[in-house]
């Protein structure tokens, strides 16, 4: 399954423009009216934070530990909770946005470790770099690039993270192949993303607005497993985490059967 009708670059342009606009917004952007995975300012239900608003999966301590403005509320999970990050490790975040997951990972790997964020949106990279500089986070760096063609050396990373981004990419298999390439033997992949629980129509797939808002680009659990296996990963666990309590901010996803999920896998080798 590829993206909507038209070239992949047209799709990337649509996604880049959407998230570039979010990066330029004043304030932290959390719970803005993006209609993306992160939620809507119109959602005041008691389950809003759990269901997507302001970055599902983050504790109050997590939010307090990152620079103000790093959490744009666009995630659908907390990938660093899916894997144990150790001091001194090198972590890569695919589609790092304003850097919230990078900053959380940086605190776990410590000054002897390093975190790299890669994002294709110049405005997001600029915002994340500014936040790293102003907050004195010296073990984090942000690179401009597409996650299908990572600006990262072979076998140089211990852990790959991603948060509600892979669904936006036309060729998910290429993303997983790139993640496999940059991981060291025994390296781990931990992804929070959306998953399709039933077939998505061609009409929905071809809707750029739905695709760029983390809806119609989702794969099913079995499709994700197949792509991970093809890339070479082992110990694959793909879990659908959606439930029947859906906040207003996630109705666009829910109406086509797209819910939050998690993906963990390992590159063979290591000790």
Q: Which tokens hold the place of 81? A: 């909770």
DSSP class of residue 79? G
Yes or no: say if 160 and 179 are a contact pair by the CB < 8 Å rule: yes
Please report the pLDDT score of residue 244 as a whole number: 44
**Rounded CA separation 79/83 (Å):** 7
> Which residues contact residue 88 at a Cβ distance below 8 angstroms, ignoring those fewer than 6 apart?
109, 110, 112, 113
In a domain? residue 1: no
**Rounded CA separation 193/175 (Å):** 13
Please report the pLDDT score of residue 1 as a whole number: 52
Q: Which residue range forms the structural domain that includes residue 185? A: 8-266
In a domain? residue 229: yes
Burial class (CB in 10 A: 0-12, 13-18, 19+), 221: middle
pLDDT beyond 50 at 35: no
The predicted model scores a pTM of: 0.84
**Rounded CA separation 125/188 (Å):** 24
**Rounded CA separation 193/161 (Å):** 11
Q: What is the pLDDT of residues 140-193, one digit of tens each?
A: 999 999 999 999 999 999 999 999 999 989 899 999 999 999 999 999 999 999
Yes or no: say if 93 and 85 are a contact pair by the CB < 8 Å rule: no
pLDDT beyond 70 at 250: no
**Rounded CA separation 112/222 (Å):** 38
Top pLDDT among 8 and 41 is at 8
In a domain? residue 79: yes
What is the CATH number for 206? 3.40.50.150
Q: What is the mean pLDDT of the chain?
A: 82
Please report the pLDDT score of residue 27 as a whole number: 43
Please report the pLDDT score of residue 36 as a whole number: 44
How many domains does the chain fold into?
1
Helix axes 122-135, 100-109, angle to 10 degrees: 40
Please report the pLDDT score of residue 73 as a whole number: 81
Q: What is the pLDDT of residues 42-70, one digit of tens each?
A: 333 322 333 333 456 788 888 888 988 88
In a domain? residue 271: no
Instruction: Please give the distance of CA 122 from its chain centroid, rounded to a whole number.
Output: 17
Top pLDDT among 19 and 159 is at 159
Top pLDDT among 179 and 22 is at 179
In a domain? residue 237: yes
Which pLDDT band holds residue 2 (cuts at 50, 70, 90)? Answer: low
Residue of 79, 26, 27, 71 lying closest to 53 (CA atoms): 71
According to the per-residue pLDDT averaged within each range, which of 30-39, 97-106, 196-205 is highest? 97-106
In a domain? residue 3: no
In a domain? residue 204: yes
Question: What does the angle CA 245 – CA 58 – CA 197 come to, to the nearest 5 degrees?
Answer: 40
In a domain? residue 158: yes
Q: Which tokens hold the place of 22? A: 């979010």
């Amino acid at each position: 399954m590829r993206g909507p009708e038209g070239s992949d670059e047209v799709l990337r342009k649509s996604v880049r423009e959407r998230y570039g606009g979010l990066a330029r917004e004043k304030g932290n952007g959390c719970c803005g009216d993006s209609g993306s995975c992160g939620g809507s300012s119109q959602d005041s239900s008691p389950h809003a934070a759990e269901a997507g608003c302001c970055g599902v999966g983050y504790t109050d301590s997590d939010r307090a530990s990152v620079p103000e403005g790093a959490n744009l509320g666009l995630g659908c999970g907390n990938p660093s909770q899916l894997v144990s990050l150790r001091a001194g490790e090198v972590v890569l975040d695919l589609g790092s946005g304003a850097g919230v997951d990078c900053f959380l990972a940086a605190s776990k790997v410590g000054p002897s470790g390093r975190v790299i964020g890669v994002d294709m949106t110049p405005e997001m990279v600029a915002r994340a770099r500014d936040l790293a500089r102003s907050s004195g986070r010296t073990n984090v760096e942000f690179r401009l690039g597409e996650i299908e063609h990572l600006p990262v050396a072979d076998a140089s990373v211990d852990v790959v993270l991603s948060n509600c981004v892979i669904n936006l990419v036309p060729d998910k298999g290429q993303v997983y192949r790139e993640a496999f390439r940059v991981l060291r033997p025994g390296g781990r992949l931990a992804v929070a993303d959306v998953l399709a629980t039933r077939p998505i129509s061609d009409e929905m797939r071809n809707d750029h607005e739905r695709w760029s808002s983390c809806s119609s680009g989702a794969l099913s659990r079995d499709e994700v497993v197949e792509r991970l296996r093809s890339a070479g990963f082992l110990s694959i666990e793909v879990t659908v985490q959606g439930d029947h309590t859906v906040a207003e901010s996630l109705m666009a996803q829910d109406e086509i059967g797209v819910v939050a999920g998690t993906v963990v896998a390992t590159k063979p080798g290591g000790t």
